[in-house]
Amino acid sequence: MILPELLPILVIALYFLGTVLFVVGSALRHEVLKNAALALAALGFALHSLDLLHLLVGAEAAQNLIAGRFLFCLLGWGILFIFLMLWWRLKLKFLAVVAMPLALMLYLAANATVGINTKLPPMLSGLFFFLHIGTLFASMALLAMAFGAGLAFMHLEKRIKTKAGLKQFQKDMPSLDTFDRVNHFVSLCGFPLYTLGLASGYVWAWLSARRVFSLDPKEIMALIVLGLYAYLFHQRLVMGWRGRKPAVMAICVFLLTVLSMLGINFLVPTTFHGFKP
């Protein structure tokens, strides 16, 4: 079919044009350009969804679930989905400057990893796959938004404290309190999802291999991320952390999840979760 072959090209083009238009629109304080960028991103998201659906149906659906292309494609889709939800709920249009480039890069990575699969237990089932991968990816997508909000918070706070003044496009950015609300939302929703994802992975490991934990580098990194995420969750919701500290913590946790997914999966050949041709 021609359409599935054209989908990657169309999605990449729409995400790229949307990213460029949004950056230019933000710099020029041009709302029409920014709205056009969001429209392109929404169209790209719809085609991205069709691409994912195409991978999930047909005779090769089971094999596609462990393909690197599907996993990167799913994560990029999840990041843009979370952004669209936050835009709808909190009106945080500015987070598109993070969401669209990340979705574009992950979709490019998806198409660059054709033919590469991940190692999964032989007793793979759809329920555990989507419970494990789906919740972890949803948590990572939320962290990506906290990452963008955290960077923006630190940048604006620094300029305000140093009295350096704000550039014209920075004056259109939300307040520091709005970015802090993103961090609160991510802490509230993301940590339980990440915990559920890890817990389902341990259950999955026990059912398939009668083991709960090994010294696999990916599992060790996941526990480190869980500990930091738990600390952020506790300090944010129980101790009332606000402002710079939770922003820095959210940035660190997101970068560690990226390191876990990209660095360990590709660069550590001994990992149980690694990618292989």
pLDDT at 1 over 50: no
Domain ranges of the chain: 1-78+93-103, 119-277
Q: Are 214 and 272 in contact (CB under 8 A)?
A: yes
At residue 156, the pLDDT reads 79
Q: Which two tokens stand for residue 92?
A: 């945080």
Helices 68-90, 96-112: axis angle to 10 degrees equals: 170
Highest mean pLDDT range out of 8-17, 132-141, 216-225?
A: 8-17
At residue 2, the pLDDT reads 47
Q: Which two tokens stand for residue 250?
A: 């959210």
Count how many Cα atoms sit within 13 Å of the Cα of residue 114 in the half-sphere of its side chain. Answer: 6
At residue 269, the pLDDT reads 57
The dihedral built from the CA positions of residue 102, 6, 81 and 266, taken in this order, carries a sign that is negative
pLDDT at 192 over 70: yes
The pTM is what? 0.82
- For 139-172, write each residue's pLDDT tens digit: 999 999 989 888 888 877 777 766 555 565 555 5
